[in-house]
Structure formats: structure tokens, C-alpha cells
């Protein structure tokens, strides 16, 4: 795997998270972004390497409804799931 494709996948994952949350509301995006920063000092783009941060923020903020968000993210990234880092990201946020 080359560095450029890894950066591209990281950007794609951040974009998909942002798009999915904006599909709910701007407030949902802001809440998740704020939670990530307050608890882990990270941003949406960091969730590619630390999907456990996103999983926790979604569960804390949305409870059982977080599964709807996770399913939407999984659907958007399905064609990239054969890449091990994306597969790992999807697995961790689904737990």
C-alpha cells in the first residue's frame, strides 16, 4: 500500500462520516466533532486510525440509534471494504 492511497482512504472515510452526520443534521456533526475533540483531542480524519473513538462518540450521543449511522457509513464504504484498514475501521465501528 502506498502512502498516497492511504491518505486518500483516510480523507474518504472522514468525508463519509461527515456526509452521514450532516444527513442527520448539522447539530449531529457538531456534537460528534466536539465529543471527539473533547475526549480524544482528535478530528473526524483521525477516526480512520482510531475508529474506536468514533464508535464511542456515536454510542454515547445516539445510544442504540448509532447503528443506523454505522450502517449508513458501511454502505457508503462498501466498495472499499476489501482494503484491510477500511475493513478494520468498519469492523471496529460495528462492534
| pTM of the shown model | 0.92
CATH of the domain at 63: 1.10.1200
Q: Which three cell numbers stand for residue 1?
A: 500500500
Q: Domain tally for the chain?
A: 1
Residue 77 near residue 13, CB atoms below 8 Å: yes
pLDDT at 3: 66
Which residue range is the domain that position 87 belongs to? 3-94
pLDDT at 6: 84
pLDDT digits (tens, 9 = 90+) for 38-67: 999 999 999 999 999 999 999 999 999 999
In angstroms, rounded to a whole number, what is the distance separating the alpha carbons of residues 22 and 4? 27
Amino acid at each position: 500500500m502506498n502512502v498516497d492511497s492511504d491518505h486518500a482512504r483516510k480523507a474518504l472515510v472522514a468525508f463519509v462520516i461527515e456526509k452521514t452526520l450532516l444527513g442527520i443534521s448539522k447539530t449531529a456533526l457538531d456534537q460528534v466533532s466536539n465529543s471527539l475533540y473533547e475526549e480524544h483531542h482528535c478530528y473526524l480524519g483521525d477516526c480512520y486510525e482510531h475508529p474506536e473513538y468514533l464508535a464511542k462518540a456515536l454510542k454515547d450521543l445516539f445510544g442504540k440509534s448509532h447503528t443506523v449511522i454505522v450502517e449508513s457509513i458501511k454502505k457508503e464504504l462498501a466498495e472499499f471494504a476489501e482494503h484491510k484498514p477500511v475493513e478494520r475501521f468498519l469492523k471496529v465501528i460495528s462492534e
